[in-house]
Amino acid sequence: MSKFVGRYQHSLDDKGRLILPAKFRFGFERGGNLSPQIDGCIGLWDQGGFQRQVSQRESVVNEGDKAARNKARYWASLSREIEFDKQGRFVLPIDIREYAGISSEVIIVGALDHIELWDPTVFAEVVDGASEAFKAGQ
């Protein structure tokens, strides 16, 4: 399992492509998968990580209630398989961009077992607010 740490900021180009930082490209030689995350960001998973996500949701679809099944359907409907070009760029589809509120700037964050893509304003509200609690050991 890959371990991703660090934070980078990049811009989408005119074609809606984003460049993945070189330090994050290992494990994505065969492409990757995007999916919506519960905190309002986009997850980028390598093949193994994405298969684990699918397995978790399959059990919910088979055993969960209607609301849980609908959440799994929503997640699947926005999830995408992606390919990288030789420069490490990939297209960030418009519907998943809209989910995360991403328009041009993107914060790219290592989240240990996957990568997260954030709108900078949302990232500041959701994650940067945790810095004081982290410093205080809470």
Structural domains in the chain (count): 1
Which two three-digit tokens encode residue 97?
């961009």
Distance of CA 106 to the CA centre of its chain: 11
Q: What is the pLDDT of residue 66?
A: 86
Q: What is the pLDDT of residue 77?
A: 94
Is 25 a member of any domain?
A: yes
Q: What is the pLDDT of residue 64?
A: 66
Is 70 a member of any domain?
A: no
pLDDT tens, position by position, 19-41: 999 999 998 988 999 999 989 99
Give the range of the structural domain holding residue 40, as residue numbers without chain letter: 7-46+80-135
Is 37 a member of any domain?
A: yes
pLDDT tens, position by position, 81-112: 999 999 999 999 999 999 999 999 999 999 99
Q: What is the pLDDT of residue 137?
A: 79
Q: Whose structure tokens read 């004081």? A: 132
Is 90 a member of any domain?
A: yes
Is 13 a member of any domain?
A: yes
Under 8 Å CB-to-CB from 126, ≥6 apart: which residues? Answer: 39, 40, 41, 118
Q: What is the pLDDT of residue 49?
A: 92
Mean pLDDT across 54-59: 85
CATH of the domain at 130: 3.40.1550.20
pTM: 0.91
